[in-house]
Amino acid sequence: MRVLVTGAGGRLGRAVLPRLLDAGHTVRATSRRPRTDAAVEWVVADLATGHGVAAAVGGVAAVLHLASSPNRRTHQIDVLGTRELVRAAGAAGVGHLVYVSIVGVDRVPIPYYRHKLAAERVVAAGPVPWSVLRATQFPQFLDDMLVASSRLGPVIGDRAVLAQPVDPDEVAARLVERLATGPSRDVEEYGGPEVLRFDEAVRAWKAARRSRRPLLPVRIPGRLGRVLRSGGLVTEATPRGSLTWADHLADTYGGTRAR
């Protein structure tokens, strides 16, 4: 099957491409700048402007839509860009569009999540048979956040916020399975193997880095804090990934995996 992957240069995209190739798919990938690769057909397309989108979907059987922009032009790229992609895919006769979203987009009151939820609705309302996979946060995101929150000395955060890190390679494997299964016209959630409180994650992170920085607890106020502490970012859905936060820390900072 010829599969188009948007956002192929991102963290998840880099995990998806080799899995698609290993599964025997022919892979076309989008980038805003020209790239070359003997194994992957790279094409130039820009969701923000629509440039190249119609050509990118021509002749493909399925689309894995991974592209997202959490920090700039989010509405333009995630919502309007998704609308243009869905429209073009429908006109090209694409048989399946898989959209990658985030667990909690329907609960966590932040603008980026509202845009992701709006994009889900664009996909569901469109002419292409579809599936949505919501994943929990990647451990690399949590790691980067802890590094940023400790730049002034202590690790700053709400100790009771719940997280469920999931390895991007396992999400990539789930996406390839989703392609093989075909359109579900439904939303599936996929999370990591364990739910951690923020203070638990910090303790393990500090031990892996051999850091003595204290945790400075700062309670997130209002509705956002309540949702994050009550599990807005986690899921009870099965199946789940198997790689733990401890596994990520061992791979990143050295040491022995938990298993």
Position 190 scores a pLDDT of 98
Tell me whether residue 228 is in a domain.
Answer: yes
Tell me whether residue 259 is in a domain.
Answer: no
DSSP annotation of 92: T
With a cut of 80, say whether residue 258 has pLDDT above it: no
Tell me whether residue 165 is in a domain.
Answer: yes
Q: What is the mean pLDDT of residues 166-187?
A: 97
Chain center to CA of 139: 11
Task: Please give the positions annotated as active site.
Answer: 112
d(CA 67, CA 77): 8
Position 152 scores a pLDDT of 86
- In 3D space, the residue among 25, 52, 54 whose CA is nearest the CA of residue 40 turns out to be 25
Q: Which residues of 18-56 are buried (b: 16+ CB within 10 A; e: fewer)?
A: ebbeeeebebbbbbeeeeeeeebebbebbbeebebbbeb
Model confidence at 133, in pLDDT bands (50, 70, 90)?
Answer: very high
Element (DSSP H or E) covering residue 128: none
Position 256 scores a pLDDT of 61
Q: Which residues of 195-222 are buried (b: 16+ CB within 10 A; e: fewer)?
A: bbebeebbebbbebbeeeeebeeeebee
Q: What is the mean pLDDT of residues 140-154?
A: 94
Rounded to two decimals, the pTM is 0.95
Tell me whether residue 138 is in a domain.
Answer: yes
Contact of 196 with 163, CB cutoff 8 Å: yes
CATH of the domain at 182: 3.40.50.720
d(CA 195, CA 185): 28
Model confidence at 257, in pLDDT bands (50, 70, 90)?
Answer: low
Arithmetic mean of pLDDT over the chain:
96
Domain of 160? 2-253
Position 92 scores a pLDDT of 98
R_g of the chain, CA atoms, integer Å: 19
Tell me whether residue 258 is in a domain.
Answer: no
Instruction: Please give the tally of structural domains in the chain.
Output: 1
Please tell me whether residue 105 adopts helix, strand or coil conformation.
coil
